[in-house]
Structure 1
Amino acid sequence: MRKILLSIGFITSITCLLLACSSDTISEFWDSIIPETNEDPTQSQISTYVFKPAQLSATDERIQQLRVPQGFSVRKFADELGEARILAATSSGHVYVTNREDGEVILLEDTNGDGAADRREVVATLEDAHGLAVFDNKLYIVTIKEIYAADINTNGTLGAPQLIYGGLPDGGQHPNRTLGFGPDGMMYVSVGSTCNACPEPNPLHATMLQANPDGSNMRIYAEGLRNTIGFGWHPETSMFWGMDHGIDKLGDDVSHEELNHIIDGAHYGWPYIFDDGRYNAYPRPEDMTYAEFAAMSTFPSLMYTAHAAPMQMVFYTGNQFPADYNGDAFVAYRGSWNRSTPEGYKVSRIIFENGTPVRFEDFLTGFLVNNNNAHFGRLVGLAVHADGSLLVSDDTNGVIYRIAHNQ
């Protein structure tokens, strides 16, 4: 376990300035200077860290130390699931989880109502299976380049998955597609960027796509989204919200993770603009100034700690939690690697007031241990179970946790 300090500098035409400046002036000069066009030099010095906490096993003792708000409890729902990623649940109590590494969709069920899954069955095998969504008695499964739909049988098993779309672009840095269905009955598919920050040659990258449920009429709905794995619709307002990953290698606290109101036709700034209008030193917008690009960009409604890595997001629509949770959202964070002190490794609650997000609040914490030098869970999937509990997946120890309110 070690911390590695990396320095990345973008320096142009500054030799004469450095020779003429005092040490104090030089210190000030090293702050980012990002002009509107290439007619002036761009310079930025950035210190960035790599720090990955050690991985530990999810022992009973460690799980007992997990923290949730008063009145809630957390325990294992299922384990030994490998790289457990995205979750989906039906009103009948069937829970599906993808194991991306093995290309499996696994069915889980708590048949005796004791809060733990006692039924487990692989119901589909598709290479790189990742995103899941339940709609119109079908389970939709997205891999890197394909979308499949399978009928859900009464017992939760699936009919043979049918390919409905095969034209998603290559994966690159962010191959983990997710999908969902809006109140309008349309299918939405998140396609991440191929890189940290670059002009994408394929316009489908770094977007939110929209299509009919049969995969037809696929189009770009919103763009400039680096990697919006988690998204959903507010149950009262039907407004579309998503958590986007900020750019790496810009420092401990830059750039923030973003909660965006996703709007048809909007551009969210990546890779040139981040946070509330800040300029990214490299790359530079083509054929326009930074100010012009910022003017056409939509800024986030809320920002969260940089590098926490938001994953699946779900609005609470169950009937077990206290009433003030209805209409709020939960977000799972897989956790940072690109900051000196770790962040994420938790689930947060997004509190909405009158349909508007107002703040983040910790909900499930305690996976970081040993003075933040180790962890026993990197969280990915979220789903509201039919009984109103919240399920959370960890893709390192292969555990799904169940958070219940002790009524």
Structure 2
Amino acid sequence: MIRIAGLAPLALLLASGAFAQQAADQPLLTGEEAFGDWQADRPGVRRLIRPDDQPSPRIGRLASNAPGLADRPQGAKPTLPPGFSAELIASGIENPRVVRVAPNGDLFVADGEANRIRVYRLAAGSAKPAEKSIFAEDLSQPYGIAFYPPGDKPQWVYVANSDSVVRFPYRDGDLKASGEPETIVAEIPASYHWTRDIAFSPDGKTLHLSVGSGSNTAEDIGSRPKGGLDRWVKSKPLGAAWGSEAGRADVLAFDPDGKNGRTVATGLRNCSGMTVQPATGALWCVVNERDELGDNVPFEYATTVKDGAFYGWPWYYIGDNEDPRHKGARPDLAGKVTMPDVLIQAHSAPLNMAFYEGGDFPADYKGDAFVTLHGSWNRNARTGYKVVRLKFKDGKPTGEYEDFATGFVIAEDAVWGRPAGVAVAKDGALILTEDGNGTIWRVTYGDGRS
């Protein structure tokens, strides 16, 4: 990316409080009106995208709109709803992605391209780190982080590399790994989509692992697997791909020791973030869909991961919409594609998700989920580059989502921030990472003190 300097005045203008408006004052945008861009984004803007809103696809690379990466202007912060504020925890990190909170409150941050896991221990009620450390290094593009067993006294920290899952011995409060990594899952294909997330089931019996596809839309998969399609269909999970895509675009499951590997769900092009919903115990993931079918095709999504489900990739998307690049290839899968739960504007690039169960935010936030949108190159009018709030009622998604943190785009061709990781701290603050300028933020409501 090209880094652009000297945009401070414009950035501060766009990040100013003039954009803050109460959600109640915002109309719910539906249909084509929900397909906005960065200039329309601001806290409180609400969108509801339905399956029938999906436009017709257009084959070909219709946009190549990668952002110019600007230095973060002095004083620039995420733009938030009224009453919320953001404090900087750290900056200058090479590639902060997933952030997870240890039972004692420490923040574990995957610094992916630097091949390390960082730890931050914040002073009480503050964004200022009281201690910080490198927990582990010499990894291989680490991303997902999970503590095992779930609960207050984990004994291991699991880390998902691009090509393996490893674990480190852990005792409450460790700032540095006390032992060498033990490989739990080996030989994960690492090309193309490299972000591997992990999450344990609430009972700790199952380790879930997401493995993204090895291509945009399985361009070189071929029309038939070795041995023929009929044989493949009878012996593999519904919608499983073959060849270079075998075992990819899937959510997999293992015992905590890495044994008894199995496929949970298929056709998830790049489930880049996973989390467990506290209210229901359901596994959720956010998915980056395919490119080069048009500005608004196909929708990205957040969804529960249903056992045995097929979500479409590479042959279908958002239900029974057939990818024209695979026209007529898998008629046997028509009518068998699971519809995602929450649809998000195309080419927003959702990376991570966290449910809010803290006590710091207003009561109506409890049970909702936050999703980071990293932004994509494949859209003429830039979108993403923000954090949104998915609305839930009685533990079920309404399908609506709302802009929460914006202001990362400072011009048509420049952004300073690309939201990546999100987690809820023990004191109820929201922790955000972005890898454009390598910053970590603590978002609080009111005075921010617990």
Gap change, CA 1:60 and 1:294, over 3 Å in 2: farther
- Inter-partner Cα distance in structure 2 for 1:32 and 1:51: 21
Gap change, CA 1:155 and 1:169, over 3 Å in 2: closer
How far has the Cα of 1:284 moved from its partner? Answer: 4.0
Structure having the larger proportion of residues in strand: 1
Gap change, CA 1:168 and 1:227, over 3 Å in 2: farther
Does 319-328 or 308-317 show the bigger shift?
A: 319-328
2:416 to 364, 367, 376: 376
Does 147-156 or 293-302 show the bigger shift?
A: 147-156
1:169 to 157, 174, 188: 188
1:129 to 113, 138, 142: 142
Would the aligned equivalents of 1:51 and 1:338 in 2 still touch at CA under 8 Å?
yes
Percent identical pairs in the alignment equals 31
**Partner SS state of residue 76, structure 2:** helix
How far has the Cα of 1:61 moved from its partner? Answer: 2.8
Does 346-355 or 275-284 show the bigger shift?
A: 275-284
Would the aligned equivalents of 1:369 and 1:375 in 2 still touch at CA under 8 Å?
yes
User: Which gives a bigger RCO, structure 1 or 2 (Cα 8 Å, sep 6+)?
Assistant: 2
The answer to whether residue 103 in structure 2 is matched with residue 84 in structure 1 is no
The aligned runs of 1:11-22 (5 Å cut-off) are none
* Pairwise CA RMSD: 2.1
**Partner SS state of residue 243, structure 1:** strand
Question: TM (normalized to structure 1)?
Answer: 0.84
Would the aligned equivalents of 1:132 and 1:139 in 2 still touch at CA under 8 Å?
yes
The answer to whether residue 73 in structure 2 is matched with residue 59 in structure 1 is yes
Would the aligned equivalents of 1:330 and 1:349 in 2 still touch at CA under 8 Å?
yes
Instruction: Write the letter of the residue equivalent to 2:169.
Output: D
The aligned runs of 1:152-191 (5 Å cut-off) are 152-157=170-175, 158-185=177-204, 186-191=206-211
1:94 to 106, 109, 115: 106
Larger Rg: 1
The answer to whether residue 291 in structure 2 is matched with residue 248 in structure 1 is yes
1:222 to 236, 250, 265: 265
Instruction: Render the CA deviation track for 1:75-114: whole Å, top value 9, x for unaligned.
Output: 2111122111111111312111111112111111113542
Instruction: Write the letter of the residue equivalent to 1:343.
Output: T
Match for residue 323 of structure 2? 280
Match for residue 193 of structure 1? 213
Match for residue 146 of structure 1? 164
The answer to whether residue 437 in structure 2 is matched with residue 397 in structure 1 is yes
Instruction: Write the letter of the residue equivalent to 1:56.
Output: A
- Inter-partner Cα distance in structure 2 for 1:279 and 1:94: 45
Gap change, CA 1:52 and 1:263, over 3 Å in 2: same
Q: Which runs of 5+ in 2 are unaligned?
A: 3-54, 222-241
- Inter-partner Cα distance in structure 2 for 1:111 and 1:154: 17
Gap change, CA 1:161 and 1:298, over 3 Å in 2: farther
- Inter-partner Cα distance in structure 1 for 2:107 and 2:256: 21
Match for residue 323 of structure 1? 363
How far has the Cα of 1:195 moved from its partner? Answer: 0.3
- Inter-partner Cα distance in structure 1 for 2:112 and 2:277: 28
Aligned length: 363
How far has the Cα of 1:276 moved from its partner? Answer: 3.3
How far has the Cα of 1:62 moved from its partner? Answer: 2.1
- Inter-partner Cα distance in structure 2 for 1:180 and 1:216: 16
- Inter-partner Cα distance in structure 2 for 1:98 and 1:71: 30
- Inter-partner Cα distance in structure 2 for 1:391 and 1:140: 20
**Partner SS state of residue 49, structure 1:** coil
The answer to whether residue 68 in structure 2 is matched with residue 73 in structure 1 is no
Instruction: Write the letter of the residue equivalent to 1:315.
Output: F
Instruction: Render the CA deviation track for 1:132-165: whole Å, top value 9, x for unaligned.
Output: 1123212110112211111223333222243242
- Inter-partner Cα distance in structure 2 for 1:314 and 1:75: 19
